[in-house]
Amino acid sequence: MTETATKNFVIDFDSTFTSVEALDVLGSISLKNHPEKIDRLKKIAEVTDLAMSGKLSFRESLNQRIQILDAKAEHIPILITMLKKLVSKSFKRNKTFLKEHADHVFILSNGFKEFIYPIVQKYGIKEENVHANTFVFDEDGNIIGFDENNILSQSKGKPAKIEALKLEGEIHVIGDGYNDYEIRKEGKANRFYAFTENVAREDVVKNADHVAPSLDEILYHNKMEGALSYPKNRIKVLLLENIHEKGVKIVKEEGYQIEIYPAGIDEDDLCEKIKDVSILGIRSKTLVTKKVLEHANRLMAVGAFCIGTNQIDLAECTKRGIAVFNAPFSNTRSVVELAISEMILLIRNLPDKIFSMHQGKWDKSANGSFEIRGKKLGIVGYGNIGKQLSVLAEALGMNVFYYDLDERLALGNATKCKSLKELLSKADVVSLHVDGRKTNANVIGKKEFGYMKDGVIFMNLSRGHVVDIQELKRNIESGKIAGTAVDVFPEEPLSNAHEFVSELRGLPNVILTPHIGGSTLEAQENIAEFVPTKIIDYINTGTTTNSVNFPNLTLPILQDAHRFIHVHHNQPGVLAKITNTLAKHDINVMGQYLKTNDTVGYVITDINKDYDKDAIADLRKIEGTIRFRVLY
């Protein structure tokens, strides 16, 4: 093949142009009130899969499906409405490409033109370039068969149709089924792309010239301009610690390579695994250290699927041009609800009473059991969680006090304390909600426990290293602390298979939970949607909104331009050098955006598409450059 040859793209419809098999959807419409609906839909799906995998002749499968469908002409407009919403994502975003190359884009389907053309015409595909079967109706509008003279209703109909079309130039077939591969097998196409955005069929994938998770990948492979500027299947994503399936799905839909590991992994193993990883997703157990980052040759972004980022060396990430994103709000409610429930359990002395009941001991007594109404709640750390806890606790009748190093506006009737000592000496219940910075190590130790009232309820749902565990144990054993809830620990098991070891085990009126403050289905689903979306936006557009270590820039959608993304050390003169380099190559700047923090500068330049490609090499050579990439 030559680069200058005309390229004709022959595209399948079902599970390729659309994300579904159209006859399956038609069945859900036509059989809506049929008593055998479930069995018939299952049979349709089975027959479809057998045909797509090459295990059943297409004509036989078509005959069987039409008999099962019991469909009518009146169902087709409903089907069209539904299919319009089910066009594959990568085809939707590459609508411009399809329109610009309309003369060389063909739909070749064993489906039916009655519903195919109304879908694809919106994307600029010409009616004469749509080749498919047609229905046969009886006088009452029932679909009773198909045009058996149409070559596409026969086995190996697609290769025969391509031969009959006598297309000039190269023929590139895009499809998910074995009958699409047959075009290549019969020597009627130059290349076959197994399209796996919606479904991956083993018998098809193994025979493909190229496996394509999206149309973007195909355009990149052919050096043609699409909506995205990089090959998605070359971006490897490593997701650790049992990331919620919704997050996995979002990443998969982008067409990335994904490796999933259910637990945290230690530093040495991560050093090995991260070598070719572009995006890393973790929760709280995995440590992303300087040593790990020294092995991360391709890492572009880290997603912390949690609130905290103290497990990540942010400074080193920033120096290396690696953007870090977290979910600062997504699990706030879950942590607060756990805190409220645990303080009620503890102030009623329920952990011990529940244990006694399981031992057969009936201990009905009000001794050491109180209401939380009217009690003083001391919140150490008045951030997102602390504030929401404040509001809910006040609604339950508690008097709320808080202390924070930063200036924080009080919500409701909460009272700000001038010092930690003041707060600890007033509170009946102390709840910690501080961040993971190193200076917060043992922020509650012997002296701080000494400030607290006798009989205090103490809770830590923030970070494991902020409490001196030995001192906490002494104060529990002495009775000064009447009840304790701890959700986070200085050392935690890497997975559920490892033993939890702590000196707090077995102590009276103590609730120990396995770092589950944010572990509700709602919170994990919210986090799993928020973090990947931010990372994908950064990869696709350069937008850094909500990054915890990069200057935050919200960028406009790239239109009819190329975008240069330049990350550099924050030192004088870099922007001037970028501008001079662009001027040297006579590049027309359509828009430019700059933001810095103490460590790095972030410059985005949108330019006219027609430019000297040598400029890219010169921009990479600018002193202080950390990372440079181009978006199309």
CATH number of 235-325: 3.40.50.720
Following DSSP, what letter does each residue of 572-615 receive, concatenated?
A: TTHHHHHHHHHHHTT--EEEEEEEE-SSEEEEEEEE-S---THH
The pLDDT value recorded for residue 65 is 84
* CB-based contact 468:490 (threshold 8 Å): no
Task: Assign 1 a pLDDT band (cuts: 50, 70, 90).
Answer: very low
pLDDT in tens, 164-175: 999 999 999 999
**Looking at residues 494-500, what average pLDDT do you find?**
86
Please confirm, yes or no, whether 463 is among the known catalytic residues.
yes
How far, in Å, are 32, 453, 465 from residue 302 at the CA level? 46, 43, 23
| pLDDT, tens digit (0-9, with 9 covering 90-100), for 436-463 | 888 889 999 999 999 999 999 999 999 9
Q: Per 3-state DSSP, what percentage of the chain is helix, strand, and coil (rounded to 5)?
A: 40, 20, 40
CATH no. of 331-512: 3.40.50.720
Q: Do residues 52 and 179 make contact, with C-beta atoms less than 8 angstroms apart? A: yes
Q: Which of 163, 170, 471, 492 is catalytic?
A: 492
Is the domain defined by 551-631 classed in CATH 3.30.70.260? yes
Q: Give the per-residue SS3 of 493-554.
A: CCCCCCCCCCCCCCCCCEEECCCCCCCCHHHHHHHHHHHHHHHHHHHHHCCCCCECCCCCCC
Q: Would you say residue 71 has pLDDT above 70?
A: yes
Rounded to the nearest 10 degrees, how much is the dihedral formed by the CA atoms of 612, 613, 616, 619? -20
Average pLDDT over residues 473-483: 96
pLDDT category at 229 given cuts 50, 70, 90 is low
What's the pLDDT at 319? 95
Domains 7-222 and 551-631 share a fold: no
Q: How far apart are CA 137 and CA 445, in angstroms?
A: 83
> For residue range 339-369, what is the model confidence (pLDDT) as tens digits?
999 999 999 999 999 999 999 999 999 988 9
Most confident of 253-267, 380-394, 514-528, 603-617: 380-394
Tell me what the mean pLDDT of segment 92-115 comes to.
95
Give me the catalytic one of 65, 75, 333, 515: 515
Q: How confident is the model at residue 255 (pLDDT cuts 50, 70, 90)?
A: confident
Q: Which residues pair with 239 in a beta bridge?
A: 260, 281
Average pLDDT over residues 213-234: 79
Determine the residue type at 492.
Answer: E
CA angle 293, 299, 301 (to 5 degrees): 105
pLDDT at site 257:
85
The residues near 460 (Cβ < 8 Å, ≥ 6 apart) are 431, 432, 444, 466, 467, 485, 486, 487, 488
Q: Measure Cα distances from 121 to 9, 198, 616 in Å.
A: 16, 21, 38
Closest CA to 460 of 341, 345, 369, 380: 380
Residues 205/211/215/220 CA torsion (nearest 10 deg):
-160
Mean pLDDT of the chain: 92
For every residue of 379-400, which 3-state class applies, written as one string?
EECCCHHHHHHHHHHHHCCCEE
7-222 CATH fold: Rossmann fold (3.40.50)
Q: Which residue has the tokens 């001037």?
A: 576
What's the CA gap between 375 and 52, in Å, rounded? 67
Task: Given the residues 201, 320, 463, 566, select the one marked as catalytic.
Answer: 463
C-alpha Rg value of the chain to the nearest Å = 31
| 499 has catalytic annotation | no
Domain locations in the chain? 7-222, 235-325, 331-512, 551-631
User: Cα–Cα distance between 415 and 426 in angstroms, integer?
Assistant: 11
51 versus 268: the higher-pLDDT residue is 268
Q: Is residue 75 flagged as an active site residue?
A: no
Q: What is the pLDDT of residues 517-565, one digit of tens each?
A: 988 999 999 999 999 999 999 998 999 999 999 999 998 877 778 999 9
Q: Is the pLDDT of residue 504 over 80?
A: yes
Cα–Cα distance, 212 to 270 (Å, whole number): 28
For residue 52, name the pLDDT band (cuts at 50, 70, 90).
low
Question: pTM for the whole thing?
Answer: 0.68
pLDDT band at 2 (very low <50, low <70, confident <90, very high): very low
Percent of the chain with pLDDT over 70: 98
More confident residue, 306 or 130: 130
Mean pLDDT of 115-143: 96
Straight-line distance from the first to the last Cα atom of the chain, in angstroms, rounded to the nearest whole number: 25
